[in-house]
Chains A and B, each alone.
Chain A
Amino acid sequence: MLSEFVVVDDADELSVDALGKALSARVESRGTERRGWLDTFDWRLYRAGLVLEHRESPPGRSVFVLTDLEGQRLARLPAPAGGIPSVDDLPAGPLKEQVMSRAGLRTAFVRASAEGRVGHLAVLDAEGKTVARVAIDGPLVVAGHAEPLPVRIRVEALRGYGKDARRVAERLGASPRVRRADDTLFEAICSAWGLQPGVYRSKPRVHLDPAMPAGRAFGLLLGELVSIARVNVDGTLRQIDTEFLHDLRIAVRSSRSVLKVARGVFDERLRSHYAAELKWIGDVTTPSRDLDVYLLEFDDLVEHAMDPVAMRPFRTLLARQCRKAHTGLNRALRSKRFARLLDGWTDELVASDEPGPDADLPVVRVGGDRLRSAWRQVRRRGNAVTDASPPDALHDLRKRCKELRYLLEHLSSLYEKSAQREIVGELRQLQNNLGEYQDAENQRRLILQYAEELVAQNASAKTLVGMGRLDHYFEHRQAVARAQFADHWTRFDRKHNRRVFATMLEP
């Protein structure tokens, strides 16, 4: 644990000046700061051992500080004053590189904030060299909390001067007015915000007992899925990054799969009602997601497909359509219908007191039956695909694969891990191939649709030729995926996998 202390008795002797005097340290700064801690929604920075903080002090001094979890500073970057800029807008440099490389597709945004006093002391040696730093934070006021967080004192070790920092920490630790902190300031602030850094799930983590009644087990799964959907709604509405919508869609799609196989487990009237409602919201999210994906990949695609400058009008059109699609999506997500769907999902469906006839059967039996059925459906459709099959046949197979995959993942706690993982791994390879094919199909459909719009807008010949080349590029990708399908299918449908699957389901 780092040398961080919480002041238990707010006495004058622990003020910045008094501490400076007691430790023979120079007061480097003191004042009031507005502070924001940034991370991605799934805590990618924290999980990589990083804490990104934005600090703003009057008059308009603003800085980003990147530290490790123990508060040791790794990088610092002055930022433009006036609000917290997006990390995307920061100048290139190590801080931005470290944050962006960890964040990937996700955006680091303000997860928690506080305001209050800060002070910094420099403990000097005989040469006047700083050998340790002491930061005094607080009391910090967190919005919505009447009680401010108590003052914290953190001793920062400087490279090559560890002994000096330890000496300062020992002196501080000997004071009866402080206690050693059992969490970091960041964790304490997050806790005040009701957040647990590092805790995030995009898939349900439910441990099912094989004897558990199927109604209860599927109810638990749906309960988890609705809470995952719920937490991703705000980020989708605010378009913080594209992964909120992605995770929301997966929760919706997973729920549809669960509902589909839960025939006989829930009350049929409710089940079919919510299946239809989930299909509605799933369909509403599709245009936004398709355009998000297109825009995410656009720069890479254009790089190796054609002249990027000529493609600008196409990108502008995609961006405009994407905004439009998100506006429509936001309207749906703010609608009473969606609110009723979310509330009813939990209250009506999961807690229904009119269960279906299979509700009391053990989940291992119901789950096994449904898995066998899903497996059979995948095999039937896969074996029916020939070179002459239309794209829809592959799309249909892909959907069945997804259903099987969700079931395998959601019911994983009922089965032997290695067999379950092996089957999921095999399925994933097949899905990747089908995904590549289907994505190229979607991209080509959009190219044609938007080419017509651009023609109506008198787009230049260069743009249209570029789009033609892009279509050709996707056509090639699609053809490659199609040519590889037979091999992928043969691999998936081989005897070994069938045996592993059958053994996995054996009681």
Chain B
Amino acid sequence: MEGWRVNGSRPAILAEGLQKSYGKTRALDGIDLNVEEGTILGVLGPNGAGKTTAVRILTTLLTPDAGRAEVAGLDVVRQAGELRSRIGLTGQYAAVDEYLTGRENLEMVGRLYHLPKKQARRRADELLERFDLVDAASRLVKTYSGGMRRRLDLAASLVFSPPVLFLDEPTTGLDPRSRITMWDIIGELVSGGTTLLLTTQYLDEADRLVDRIAVVDAGRVIAEGTSGELKARVGGERLEVTVARGDGLEEAVGVLERYAYGDGGVRVDAERGYAGVTVAGGPGLLAAVVRDLDAAGVQADELGLHRPTLDDVFLTLTGHAAEPEAEQRVDEKEIA
């Protein structure tokens, strides 16, 4: 088992060549993952990339066709029973019972973790407090809002304080305010030492929450690294200028061409008076551009240097956008 050790310590989550097919559809085509203890891995990918299948295998719900995986040092197939008391899972849909109250849901989960009755009740109260559900504790869950259900669902996966936690798209379908609340809660969790694997199709979520990102597409990990590393793979920064009412756009393009890096060229959107170009970056760049624009008589409304977003990363790596909305935005730009 030497090959399973990284830097002498055993990772909290390790997957090697996981494969899974449903009929002729290959959901996982050899996934490798490695998550060190106490860190967050974001598994980023579009719908149908295989994120949920991977989570289901790592949480013992599904057996892989090939490959192997260990979570908390236990084999997900051979030691599945033992493993279940060391993991928490919050799935894509809030898996809480609508016809029980919030407290009853948490107590039930506590009892199923084989906590004594009193302890299950105490733990439920603690979690209700922590997730701001005390007022709703005695109400049936069917009266809860979407955000409250997700919080209760997350609370349920924490009843037993598992060392490894899996969150499968924890904020999908939530309104922006509830998303931010969830992010705060997730952030707190990890500062407590929990190892976390989080799947998401939201690039901003991955950018904000996780230590490392595994980009998944069509059942494979196509890139892995920190957010910064992935952005660096896309190449330099983008210099963007918007001019008032299109005046001087041509001159602005002329200036930008001087700073162009690589063979992307200057992208122009005449309607918005926008011009953008990939640049090599470096100190003093922005000041130099301002001087040049000034000399060319261009009055810039907006001038900025942007680091590539994960959107750009995804597009570069896969040739398609991560989110449907993102795809639309890109299409609009290109058409314009």
Say if A and B assemble together: no
| Interface residue ranges, B against A (CB under 8 Å) | none
A residues contacting B by CB (< 8 A) are: none
